[in-house]
């Protein structure tokens, strides 16, 4: 989700929601310090450029304790990022400095791969500088992500405890929650003064998630809270004396009770107050200069010049096409009735769902693992390069499952200490039908996000800003493309499962219509939900969550279909040009070998490959 607050070009989640020899992450700042890297002797302009790329990357990483944790670096393991205008100003100054440093390179003397890196980094820095005008055009807390939930998510999922020092760093972060949430509240106050307040529906989610974090022991008499259970589990696994364990547990308990609980209580009180100022206007059009902001967001997300109207029309066209293919499946399964009646059947018949019990959830997870294992056993048919990093399947944690998305992927740590993770949200089993399991597993796991993201991280001879960077249209386009091509391998043998694949693609086509509908055509939340429920077989709860996601993340959901269609277009072009010489394994290598890139750059790379092999 790949889904996040303003993260620098390192783009370490995702989210949203990406590969071949594991990068050994630095464990201390001087392993690759900014001052050291640019003064190392370079034998060529390309070497000089790549040293500068690494210096720029590390300078940004070392300014962000959260980014360090994602990368497995423990330099500032006890700290949080600064969240303030001053910190944003400092980032902007660094970006301008880095751009000036790039301009000193002699571009004509760079080799081809380094020239591509130069072009990508220059474009990215220029865009970051230009986009600073939109620094307040966001909701720092919402139902998808935010500073309130990031604290627990990072500590539980990213902060590993291998020794006493790591445990003390965890405690320091707990003690730093108060400052972190004060800064978060300030960010909300600044935006509120500018008239930028999340819509009213957001607040119950944020308040509920915040309350969940401070629910249970040691805050009250209930079962262990998520943070307390996590810390206890990690510390109890250490090979240390009982006295040391008790000291750490006592310090963590004090931090939770004396710092974390009061800080969240204060934030919750402020959110309740801010909720009274919220309204039901949903689109980005309500922001200052909202139309310009949204058009820019679409350009950044899709890496194209497509207008909101172009994207809206493309979505309508794709919805029509997919509906036609679904009617063909209706005939295969001998269903008598209309497409809408078939949707209702697929949505309501109990045969398509696991039970809403612990046993049902476990069965879902086991089947997801089985699907991924089967696909993994056949990867050699379609890939010549595979990731070394392992992947696990995990249920979304209880503290965030109510508001989190349906499924998402977290990248592995570069040092191999943390596997890639496919998260399935099993809070509402009616939103996770069996017939969509196959496509969902391929998208989030293998051959989707795990293949692409892990391979990118493991690439050799590619600077880190490209390994850990991201372009949503490329990343999510690959995810959606990865749902499609397994059908050509004989997967989706069950027609209902193939219907599920089409239902997932249909969902992404509807996103083109609804995202532009909300943010450019002023559709209401209710109109948008109705479009999904009228045109897809998904549960109404799916539609509500998706529309609410559109509202707080303008343009993000347009990336999937735009990226997928470009990949299919480029593949068809290569097949036509190369004929019998076309090998899908080579095509996939070309797509993946440079890490994530804008779609126009990917098109250029495919064109060069076609020319070389014609």
Q: For 253-301, how does the pLDDT look when each residue is reduced to its tens digit (9 = 90+)?
A: 999 999 999 999 999 999 999 999 999 999 999 999 999 999 999 999 9
Cα Rg of the chain (Å, integer): 24
Question: Does some domain include residue 296?
Answer: no
Q: Are 120 and 110 in contact (CB under 8 A)?
A: no
Confidence of residue 41 (pLDDT cuts 50, 70, 90): low
From the list 155, 117, 136, the residue with the least C-alpha distance to 9 is: 117
Q: Report CA-CA distances (Å) from 602 to 394, 471, 479.
A: 32, 11, 16
What global pTM score does this model have?
Answer: 0.88
Listed residues 457, 477, 497: the one ending a domain: 477
Q: Tens digit of pLDDT for each residue in 479-520?
A: 999 999 999 999 999 999 999 999 999 999 999 999 999 999
The dihedral built from the CA positions of residue 137, 143, 149 and 154, taken in this order, carries a sign that is negative
What percentage of the chain carries pLDDT values higher than 90?
Answer: 87
Confidence of residue 149 (pLDDT cuts 50, 70, 90): very high
167 and 236 belong to one structural domain? yes
DSSP string of 108-140? GGS-HHHHHHHHHHHHHHHHHHHGGGGTTSS-S
From the list 318, 339, 315, 345, the residue with the least C-alpha distance to 327 is: 339
pLDDT of residue 5: 31
Question: Does some domain include residue 17?
Answer: no
Kindly state the tokens that stand for 282: 């949903």
193 and 125 belong to one structural domain? no
391 and 461 belong to one structural domain? yes
Question: How far is the C-alpha of 500 from the C-alpha of 508, rounded, in Å?
Answer: 13
From the list 593, 468, 475, the residue with the least C-alpha distance to 58 is: 468
Listed residues 251, 281, 311: the one ending a domain: 281
What percentage of the chain carries pLDDT values higher than 70?
Answer: 93
105 and 35 belong to one structural domain? yes
Question: Does some domain include residue 310?
Answer: no
Question: Does some domain include residue 488?
Answer: no
> How far out from the chain centre does Cα 239 lie?
35
From the list 552, 592, 457, 494, the residue with the least C-alpha distance to 198 is: 552
- Residue 23 confidence (pLDDT) above 90: no
Listed residues 281, 308, 341: the one ending a domain: 281
- Residue 578 confidence (pLDDT) above 50: yes
126 and 164 belong to one structural domain? no
The predicted model gives 140-147 an average pLDDT of: 93
Domain that holds residue 366: 350-477
92 and 129 belong to one structural domain? yes
108 and 164 belong to one structural domain? no
Question: Does some domain include residue 114?
Answer: yes
Domain count, the chain: 3
Question: How far is the C-alpha of 236 from the C-alpha of 233, rounded, in Å?
Answer: 5
DSSP run (H or E) holding 395 = strand 391-395
Question: Does some domain include residue 583?
Answer: no
Question: Does some domain include residue 380?
Answer: yes
**Mean pLDDT, all residues of the chain:** 92
Question: Does some domain include residue 153?
Answer: no
Q: In sequence order, which residues have a C-beta less than 8 Å from that of residue 560 and are 6 or more positions away?
A: 476, 477, 479, 480, 508, 511
pLDDT of residue 418: 87
125 and 164 belong to one structural domain? no
Q: In sequence order, which residues have a C-beta less than 8 Å from that of residue 109 and are 6 or more positions away?
A: 44, 45, 46
From the list 228, 232, 229, 74, the residue with the least C-alpha distance to 158 is: 74
Kindly state the tokens that stand for 355: 């039970």
The predicted model gives 213-217 an average pLDDT of: 97
From the list 321, 298, 319, 300, the residue with the least C-alpha distance to 308 is: 298
- 331 burial type by CB count under 10 A (0-12 exposed, 13-18 middle, 19+ buried): exposed
271 and 364 belong to one structural domain? no
94 and 165 belong to one structural domain? no
pLDDT of residue 13: 34
Work out the end-to-end distance of the chain between its first and last CA atoms, rounded to an integer number of angstroms: 38
Grouping H, G, I as helix, E, B as strand and the rest as coil, residue 404 is coil
Grouping H, G, I as helix, E, B as strand and the rest as coil, residue 62 is helix
274 and 356 belong to one structural domain? no
Question: How far is the C-alpha of 107 from the C-alpha of 104, rounded, in Å?
Answer: 9
Q: Tens digit of pLDDT for each residue in 305-318?
A: 999 999 999 999 99
Which letter does DSSP use for residue 388 in this model? S
363 and 471 belong to one structural domain? yes
């Amino acid at each position: 989700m790949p889904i996040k607050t303003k993260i620098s070009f390192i783009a370490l989640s995702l989210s949203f929601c990406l590969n071949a020899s594991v990068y050994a992450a630095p464990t201390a700042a001087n392993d690759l310090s900014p001052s050291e890297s640019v003064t190392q002797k370079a034998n060529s302009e390309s070497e000089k450029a790549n040293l500068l790329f690494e210096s720029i990357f590390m300078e940004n990483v070392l300014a962000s304790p959260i980014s360090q944790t994602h990368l497995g670096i423990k330099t500032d393991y006890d700290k949080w990022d600064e969240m303030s205008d001053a910190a944003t100003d400092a980032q902007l100054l660094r970006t301008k400095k880095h751009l000036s440093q790039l301009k000193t390179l002699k571009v004509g003397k760079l080799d081809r791969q380094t020239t591509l890196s130069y072009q990508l980094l220059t474009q990215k820095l220029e865009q970051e500088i230009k986009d600073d005008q939109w620094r307040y055009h966001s909701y720092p807390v919402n139902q998808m992500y935010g500073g309130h939930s990031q604290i627990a998510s990072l500590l539980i999922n990213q902060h590993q405890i291998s020794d006493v020092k790591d445990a003390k760093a965890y405690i320091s972060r707990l003690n730093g929650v108060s400052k972190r949430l004060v800064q978060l509240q300030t960010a909300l106050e600044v935006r509120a003064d500018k008239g930028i307040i999340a819509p009213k529906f957001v607040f119950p989610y944020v308040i509920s998630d915040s309350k969940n974090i401070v629910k249970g022991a040691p805050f009250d008499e209930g079962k262990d809270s998520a943070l307390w259970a996590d810390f206890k589990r990690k510390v109890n696994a250490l090979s240390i004396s009982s006295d040391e364990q008790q000291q750490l547990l006592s310090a963590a308990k004090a931090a939770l009770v004396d710092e974390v609980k009061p800080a969240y209580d204060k934030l919750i009180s402020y959110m309740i107050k801010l909720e009274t100022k919220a309204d039901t206007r949903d689109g980005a059009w309500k922001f200052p200069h909202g139309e310009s902001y949204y058009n820019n967001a679409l350009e950044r997300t899709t890496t194209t010049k497509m207008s909101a109207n172009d994207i809206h029309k493309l979505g309508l066209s794709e919805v029509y096409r997919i509906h036609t293919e679904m009617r063909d499946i209706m005939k295969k399964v001998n269903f008598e009735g209309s497409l809408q009646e078939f949707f209702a059947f697929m949505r309501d018949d109990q045969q398509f769902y696991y039970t809403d019990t612990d046993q049902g959830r476990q069965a879902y997870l086991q089947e997801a693992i089985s699907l991924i294992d089967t696909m993994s056993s056949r990867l050699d048919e379609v890939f010549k390069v595979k990731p070394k990093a392992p992947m696990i399947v995990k249920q979304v944690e209880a503290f965030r499952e109510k508001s989190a998305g349906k499924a998402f992927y977290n990248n592995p740590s570069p040092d191999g200490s943390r596997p890639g993770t496919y998260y399935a949200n099993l809070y509402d089993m009616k939103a996770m039908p069996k017939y969509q399991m196959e496509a969902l597993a391929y998208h989030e796991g293998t051959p989707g996000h795990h293949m692409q993201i892990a391979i990118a991280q493991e690439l050799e001879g590619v600077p880190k800003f490209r390994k850990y960077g991201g372009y949503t249209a490329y990343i999510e386009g690959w995810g959606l493309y990865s749902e499609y091509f397994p059908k050509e391998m004989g997967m989706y043998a069950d027609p209902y499962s193939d219907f599920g694949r089409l239902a997932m693609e249909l969902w992404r086509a509807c996103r083109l219509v609804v995202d532009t509908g909300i943010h450019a055509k002023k559709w209401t939340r209710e109109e948008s939900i109705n479009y999904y429920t009228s045109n897809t077989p998904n549960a109404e709860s799916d539609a509500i969550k998706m529309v609410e996601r559109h509202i707080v993340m303008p343009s993000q959901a347009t990336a999937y279909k735009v990226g997928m269609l470009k990949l299919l277009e480029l593949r068809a072009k290569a097949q036509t040009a190369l004929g019998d010489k076309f090998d899908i394994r080579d095509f996939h290598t070309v797509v993946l070998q440079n890490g994530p890139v804008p779609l126009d750059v990917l098109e250029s790379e495919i064109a060069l490959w076609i020319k070389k092999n014609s």
